[in-house]
Amino acid sequence: MRYLARSVWQLRHLSRVLGAEISSKGLERGWIAPVWISSVSRSLNGSFHYREITGYMNQAVVFMRTLSTSAANDATADAARAGPLMEYEKRIVSGELVDGDCFQLDTLRLLQTLYDQLVEHEDACQLDRYNSSKKSGRSRWLWSRLIPQSSYAPVRGLYLYGGVGTGKTMLMDLFYEQLPSNWRKKRIHFHDFMLNVHSRLQKHKGLADPLEVVAAEISDESILLCLDEFMVTDVADALILNRLFRHLFNKGVVLVSTSNRAPDQLYEGGLQRDLFLPFIETLKERCIAHAIGSSTDYRKMGSAEQGLYLVGNQYGPLLKQKFHSLIGQEKPRPQVVEVVMGRKLQVPLGANGCAYFPFEELCDRPLGAADYFGLFKKFHTLALEGVPKFGLHNRTAAYRFVTLVDVMYENRARLLCTAETPPVELFERIVTVADALKVSPRSSRAPKGDDPDLCVDNQLGFAKDRTISRLTEMNSKEYLEQHEANLHRSSEETHDNGDMLQSRQLVLD
């Protein structure tokens, strides 16, 4: 203890002589000590012997490294004691979450087990971005070509599936938020993830195996990948998923995902599904599939807020009035949004973070998730006029509307709209094959004599419950209050950044 105290005293003494402070961060850099020694020697005109000063500096370095090692050990110990289960209990005590859901508790225990396994195998999984960065890059790429080898992670991931509003996303986010900040991790919506994959494939077009290069890039950035709302509806996605994830798993990626569909039900009824089936086996091999059996839809437990979801197309003028009240003094005008790969989306009216669209211009045109993600990177509120009741005649628009709501919910955007019916009635004419058989046992097709607009579609039939649930939550008081809080926080951050830039400009002037 005296040794450490003496080192601190000597360090402070040198700092006073130089009229500056020595940071512990600086001491750990090998080039700092000689510069300080040289400076001290010149400033004291030889009153201190070089070796004596060197001894002081070395003792200080030992002391600061001891503190750093202790802090690192404490951080590791904290990670070992933490986890999603402990955070869940804290939120129940604070009243933020509802207690008593045994289905969520079962899921949390699995997430806690995965968390503990990842902490235990942190080095083997190369989760620490600072340690793994030394082994990544060109040299690791070269060795992987010279000596091809599989490097599966020592732990299996999780695939959480169940009904809408059962808390899948909340539980995965709870898990993700407890992970150490220095880990290579990413949490992203499945739509956004696949858009990113296709964008990377475009960039590497012409290579022998662009999917392997894309997988290498993704795994270098994130070894732990958390995907929300895993849902395959696009044949282009279905055909590449098996090879993509085989490459990812071979590179040690651990997957945690949520979905409304069990693994065996993914892409059910899709084109060329036989080519997709190997992915299901790959997924079940590398992830533990767990069903959340809760029948409670927590999204519908919020208090309803009347006034933003207007039932009846006669309320178009009122919708425009609400839109203008939100944008304040700013004048709305047509705008253009940049989307991926050079595409652009025309916005009929936009101002102050709010966009106005007739339903036909956003869901009856050939648009997709990429366009909607681009839209909500620029706008936080959408006024949508004329949402129809969906059926066979507008099935494609129904698909786009489902995707639109998913993207809005992921971005926590606010929706004002006029609609033909309440949310629960929008998809009444959309049914699964099983539902159609109950109505007409003779055939899996829609009973034309009963309702010519009945649409039998498994993908939409499963997705509609999620969309109805999300529309209900997005119209709740709690969701809208959170939206306002996010806007306020974003405004304060923008203001602070502006002040900082102004201060820097004054300093430069």
* pLDDT score of 337 more than 70: yes
Residues 459 and 375 in one domain: yes
**In a shared domain, residues 276 and 316:** no
Rounded to whole angstroms, the Cα distance separating 14 from 25 reads 17
Q: Tell me, what CATH number does 169's domain have?
A: 3.40.50.300
Per the model's pLDDT, the better-predicted residue between 397 and 147 turns out to be: 397
Residues 109, 251: one domain? yes
Which residue would you say has higher pLDDT here, 45 or 370?
Answer: 370
More confident: 371 or 165: 371
Q: List, for residues 113-133, the tens digit of each pLDDT value.
A: 999 999 999 999 999 988 765
Better pLDDT: 445 or 249:
249
Q: How far is CA 199 from CA 204, 210, 230, 329, in A?
A: 9, 11, 19, 38
Around Cβ 159, how many Cβ atoms within 10 Å?
23
Residue-wise pLDDT for 467-493, tens only, equals 998 998 898 888 888 888 888 888 777
Contact 254, 223 (CB under 8 A): yes
What does pTM read for this prediction?
Answer: 0.62
Domain boundary among 258, 291, 324: 291
Beta-bridge partners for 476? 304
112 and 231 both lie in a single domain: yes
Higher-pLDDT residue of 130 and 155 is 155
Burial label for 130, CB within 10 Å (0-12, 13-18, 19+), is exposed
Q: Are residues 365 and 407 in the same domain?
A: yes
Query: 97 and 196 in one domain?
Result: yes
Indicate whether 265 and 330 sit together in one domain: no
Report whether pLDDT(35) > 70. no
Please check whether residue 423 lies inside any domain of the structure. yes
Q: Are residues 466 and 422 in the same domain?
A: yes
Its domain, for residue 284, covers 84-129+150-291
CB distance 272 to 229 below 8 Å: no
Neighbouring-strand partners of residue 383 = 356, 416
Which backbone phi and psi does 413 adopt, to 5 degrees?
-85, 165
Give residue 33's pLDDT: 41
Q: Is residue 449 part of a domain?
A: yes
Asked whether residue 314 falls in the same domain as residue 362, the answer is yes
Residue 480: inside a domain: no
| Nearest partner of 391 among 429, 421, 346, judged by Cα | 429
Domain count, the chain: 2
List Cβ<8 Å contacts ≥24 apart for 167-170. 167/101, 167/104, 167/107, 167/292, 167/294, 167/298, 168/107, 168/258, 168/259, 168/292, 169/228, 169/229, 169/258, 170/298
- Rounded to whole angstroms, the Cα distance separating 280 from 230 reads 12
Q: Which of 241, 257, 291 is the last residue of a domain?
A: 291
Residues 219/248, Cβ–Cβ less than 8 Å: yes
Band of residue 284 on the pLDDT scale cut at 50, 70, 90? very high
CA 372 – CA 403 distance, rounded (Å): 8
Share of the chain above pLDDT 90, in %: 48
Q: Residue 17's CB: how many other CB atoms inside 10 A?
A: 15
Within a domain: residue 509? Answer: no
Domain membership of residue 505 (yes or no) is no
Whether 125 is covered by a domain: the verdict is: yes
Q: How far apart are CA 429 and CA 157, in angstroms?
A: 37
Mean pLDDT of the chain: 79
- Answer yes or no: is 60 within a domain: no
Q: Which of 431, 435, 418, 438 is nearest to 464 (CA)?
A: 431
**Pair (284, 328) in one structural domain:** no
113 and 226 housed in the same domain? yes
Q: What is the pLDDT of residues 164-208, one digit of tens each?
A: 778 899 899 999 999 999 999 999 999 889 989 999 999 998 899
Please state whether beta strands 344-351 and 333-338 pair in parallel, antiparallel, or not at all (unpaired). Answer: antiparallel
Residues 318 and 386 in one domain: yes
140 is a domain residue: no
Strand 354-358 relative to strand 344-351, pairing: antiparallel
CA distance 66 to 294: 50
Is the pLDDT reported for residue 406 higher than 60?
yes
Which tokens is 301 given? Answer: 């437990």
